[in-house]
Amino acid sequence: MQQLILGSSSPFRAELLAKLGLAFTTASPDIDESPLENEQAEQLVKRLSEQKARAIGQHYTNALIIGSDQVAILDGQILGKPDNHINAVKQLTTASGKTVLFLTGLALLNSKTGQIQSLVEPFEVSFKTLSVAQIEFYLQQEQPYQCAGSFKSEGFGISLFYKLRGDDPNSLIGLPLIRLIELLKAEGIDILQPN
């Protein structure tokens, strides 16, 4: 069986992939994640997920490599990671009472054949109307400064929402497992079949 490699340094993505019960290793792709001129968000996450998989694929001749990337979009603008408390307050204040669209790019590269499968999985998060005190309380609890949109849906961040809409809640955390299972099956790995 080919080695399975998660092309990500994200502990959240590694935790998600571990749910599938497959042996895998992780490798961090070193790529420029800057958007291209006039590049739409959907094109960006698809390109970056493929680029991450290919960057890792250069070092392996017989592996299945998973690349993933995610952006959050609010009012037509891409939300990045806030990096600090002030920016997180701004992001959550802007998102209050609104719906944020998350686009998660997913790519699976077979480094032996060069074949790559890729897709973009959407997921919407509708925020409650939040007071300044609620935002401050949440940020003190979780400090999600390295998370796009300034929250962790897998943690206390779930308290910020009144509705989630999408096919796979795992995609919100950064790795759409339902779609990944389909891509793996196309490469001959059926996780529901005993070895």
Q: Which domains does the chain have, with CATH numbers?
A: 3-186 (3.90.950.10)
Average pLDDT, the chain: 94
Mean per-residue pLDDT, 69-89: 92
User: Is 90 exceeded by the pLDDT of residue 152?
Assistant: no
Beta strands in the chain (DSSP E): 3-6, 25-26, 63-74, 77-79, 99-110, 116-127, 161-166
Catalytic, 168? Answer no
Which listed residue (30, 32, 69, 167) is catalytic? Answer: 69
Q: State if pTM tops 0.85.
A: yes
Mean per-residue pLDDT, 153-169: 93
The model's confidence at residue 195, banded by pLDDT at 50, 70 and 90, is: low
- Return d(Cα 150, Cα 148) in angstroms, integer: 6
